[in-house]
A and B are shown apart, each in its own frame.
Chain A
């Protein structure tokens, strides 16, 4: 394997190197090998299992890669053309846009609400933080199962509560009927997972805000709401920006929740779910590569846009 060849050079050289001598640092004319030795495993992993594969994704998206129908051959923008004209992919792209809009907006707003709740010390605050991060720590697929118990058409909590309150007269099927409702309910499950990190990131920003700014705002006659708008929000912008970027990355790549709650149906399919089906069910890897590449590019552009729009450096 290539990794052993890369690692062999520094290891062999280190074995023959003279042991470190007296207390005075010797003048070394040869290269200091220790740092290379320390970073070599990391470098091998990053190059071999991140950069090289990413290169594959870029290059092979211009090829027809189909294990059932070899050989691999260059087809230019063929994969992209097929993707962009595929109605299933178009539906998934629109769905994903809705996932992103709902997910980023909701996780940011809820994250800010939670962070403001936790901004000042109070009894039980650390316990509350532990409970807050709980949904972040759980697997997305299992969260899909957890929430399917709430949306369920026969045994679900939502149906039971709504009919107990006489808001509905019979149990409803919430998922898979109405497209926008289905997407919103599935995205809520992902928001449940990603909001804790948003809250922590905003909270970290809030804790840098000096208390005397609030004191000054109060003396100037600011209401609590005005203090929130004029002190908290502007100074929390770095944290909000990072929170929004993590939400953009997570929601654009949403897979677990729609896979569990929507399956292969087109109603609420996401582009990542489509990538999975195209690559691993249809075994059309070329088209899968192309779709991965497009998702990655959109993720990078959108993340950059969010940083540009929201991030402002803050100095105290």
Chain B
């Protein structure tokens, strides 16, 4: 029996090592390359640790007034604005709707609820072309509004589903006490449901923010210049120019992943809870 336990533990450490290497080696390699000079990165065999770590790639991407630094700075601002706006709108609208779905009965409730869920089964890109043409007809191509509207429409179903699952899991007793005491339903939402549902709201917000940050094809189509292009689009465009060295490109990649990576590493508890509430049921 002890040998079996030993074997199980050995198998687990194999799994642990695999997860660590799988997740971290590619990111480590990018950081490693980003801290080297072009000549160092070109050596064979490669330097597995930067011989003389340099921040030159980062300063030339972020500092100065040239073309690339200003593109990086503007697109970083764009992605933050777009992600924050999409997150706020999605969280507010999904919370309101989820409250109605979870606690009120009204005509058409099930039809609407299933319509919302059904849209989750469709691949997001089904509506890529029509959304572009609608945005184009309304003059919303190349505006924050256009991009945020598309993000919100894409993320609302999952957000509503997560919030709905969270709210139906909350005890009814406190709300009923509130109703007996004469509170209106909006007061109950404000003072009872929102504090109780806060972990669910945080999960929804983080997941929406990360989904917005990872978008590429929609902003590629919906933004045609630097006024709205997010960091992901600009970094990819850098990669498309073959004159940009690997070292600089790696630094740009690190800049584009630092925010979602920190969120993922620190707030993973909320992400896991939200995703599982949204996926399995």
B156 and A46 form a contact (CB under 8 A): yes
**Given A253-B123, A292-B125: A34 in contact with B253 (beta carbons within 8 A):** no
Which residues of chain A come closer than 8 Å to B150, judged between CB atoms? 49
Q: Which of these, A54, A134, A141, contacts B236 with CB under 8 Å?
A: A141
A155 contacts chain B at the CB level, 8 A cutoff: yes
The answer on a CB contact under 8 Å between A171 and B44 is yes
Q: A35, B130: Cβ atoms under 8 Å?
A: no
Q: Is A164 an interface residue (CB 8 A)?
A: yes
What 0/1 readout, one digit per residue, does chain A (111-133) give for beta carbons within 8 Å of chain B? 00110111010101010111111
CB–CB B122/A296 < 8 A: yes
Residues from chain B with a CB closer than 8 A to the CB of A124 are 16
Which residues 147-197 of A have a CB within 8 angstroms of B? Answer: 147-150, 152, 154-157, 159-160, 163-164, 171, 192, 195-197
Tell me, in angstroms, the Cα distance from A157 to B7 when the chains sit together.
32
Q: Which residues of B are found within 8 Å of A136, using beta-carbon distances?
A: 264
Output the nearest chain A residue to B8 by Cβ-Cβ distance: A224
Size of the chain B interface, CB-CB below 8 angstroms: 104
Whether B119 and A131, one on each chain, are in contact in the complex, defined by CB atoms closer than 8 angstroms, is no
Is A262 part of the binding interface, using a Cβ–Cβ cutoff of 8 Å? no
**Nearest CB in chain A: distance from B124 CB, A:** 7
Bound-complex Cα distance A183 to B37 (A)? 31
Chain B residues positioned under 8 Å from A131 (CB to CB): 19-20, 23-24, 265
Once the chains bind, are B275 and A200 in contact (CB under 8 Å)? Answer: yes
Segment with Cβ contacts to B, from A74-82, A83-91, A95-103, A275-283: A275-283
Are the C-beta atoms of B46 and A160 separated by less than 8 Å?
yes
Q: Tell me which of B93, B116, B128, B129 has the highest count of chain A C-beta atoms within 10 A of its own C-beta.
A: B129
Main secondary structure of the interface of A (DSSP, over half): helix
Contact of A255 among B41, B121, B185, B217 (CB under 8 A): B217
**Residues in chain A near residue B268, CB distance under 8 A:** 126, 129-130, 133
**Residue from B97, B127, B179, B264 in contact with A50 in the complex, judged by beta carbons closer than 8 Å:** B127
Question: Is B126's CB under 8 angstroms from A117's CB?
Answer: no
B249 contact set on A, CB distance < 8 A: 145, 148
Which residues from chain A contact B12 at a C-beta distance below 8 Å? Answer: 117, 120, 122
How far apart are B117's CB and chain A's nearest CB, in angstroms? 10
Give chain B residues whose Cβ lies under 8 Å from the Cβ of A36.
106
B272 CB → nearest A CB, Å: 6
Which partner residue on chain B sits nearest A248 by CB separation? B123
Q: Which of A41, A128, A149, A303 has the most CB of B within 10 A?
A: A149
Q: How far is the CB of A77 from chain B (nearest CB, A)?
A: 18
Q: Is A138 an interface residue (CB 8 A)?
A: yes
Assess the B276–A32 pair: CB atoms within 8 A. Answer: no
Q: Is the CB of B45 within 8 A of A141?
A: no
Chain B residues whose C-beta falls within 8 Å of the C-beta of A50 in the assembled complex: 119, 122, 127, 153, 157
Whole-angstrom distance between the Cβ of B26 and the nearest chain A Cβ = 5
User: Is A306 in contact with chain B by the CB < 8 A criterion?
Assistant: no
Contacts of A29-77 to chain B: CB distance below 8 A? 31-32, 34-36, 38-39, 41-43, 45-46, 48-54, 56-57, 60
Smallest CB–CB gap between A86 and chain B, Å?
A: 17
- Is B182 in the interface zone, CB < 8 Å from A? yes
Judge whether B246 and A149 touch: CB under 8 Å: yes
Tell whether A137 pairs with B263 under 8 Å between CB atoms, given A146-B27, A149-B33, A171-B44.
yes
A242 to B100, CA, bound (A): 27
B29, CB-defined interface residue at 8 Å:
yes
User: For the complex, is B172 an interface residue (Cβ under 8 Å from A)?
Assistant: no
Least CB distance, B107 to chain A, in whole angstroms: 8
Known contacts A139-B256, A204-B280, A260-B236; decide if A38 and B275 are in contact (CB<8 Å).
no
Known: A113-B15, A146-B26, A204-B276. A139 touches B185 (CB 8 A): no
| B116 lies within 8 A of A46 (CB) | yes
Q: Is B59 an interface residue (CB 8 A)?
A: no
User: Which listed residue (A20, A260, A285) contacts B239, Cβ 8 A?
Assistant: A260
Taken together as a complex, chains A and B put the C-alpha atoms of A157 and B149 apart, in Å, by 41
B26 & A164 in contact (Cβ 8 Å cutoff) = no
CB atoms of B276 and A140 under 8 A apart: no
Q: Could you tell me the distance in whole angstroms from the C-beta of B59 to the nearest C-beta in chain A?
A: 20
| Cross-chain contact A129 with B160 (CB below 8 angstroms) | no
A22 CB-CB contact with B under 8 Å: yes
CB distance from A10 to the nearest CB of B (A): 11
With the chains together, A263 CA to B28 CA distance in Å? Answer: 25
Question: How near does chain A come to B85, taking the closest CB pair, in angstroms?
Answer: 14
Question: In the complex, which of the residues A1, A49, A142, A249 contacts B253, with contact meaning CB atoms closer than 8 Å?
Answer: A142
Q: Does B57 contact A (CB under 8 A)?
A: no
- Report whether B232 and A139 are in contact in the complex, using a CB–CB cutoff of 8 Å: yes
User: CB within 8 Å of A: which of B10-66?
Assistant: 11-12, 15-16, 18-20, 22-27, 29-30, 33, 41-42, 44-46
A292 with B263, Cβ < 8 A, contacts A23-B182, A252-B123 known: no
Query: Which residue of chain B has its CB nearest to the CB of A298?
Result: B123
What are 6 A-to-B residue pairs whose CB atoms are below 8 Å? Answer: A38-B96, A117-B16, A122-B12, A149-B29, A157-B25, A279-B132
Could you tell me which B residues sit within 8 Å of A by CB distance? 4, 7-8, 11-12, 15-16, 18-20, 22-27, 29-30, 33, 41-42, 44-46, 93-94, 96-97, 99-101, 104-107, 109, 112, 115-116, 119, 121-134, 138, 149-150, 152-153, 156-157, 160, 179-182, 184-186, 210, 213-217, 220-221, 232-233, 235-236, 239-240, 246, 249-250, 252-253, 256-257, 260-261, 263-266, 268-269, 271-272, 275-276, 279-280
Across the A-B interface, give the 4 residue pairs with the lowest CB-CB distance, nearest first: A117-B15, A137-B264, A49-B153, A53-B130
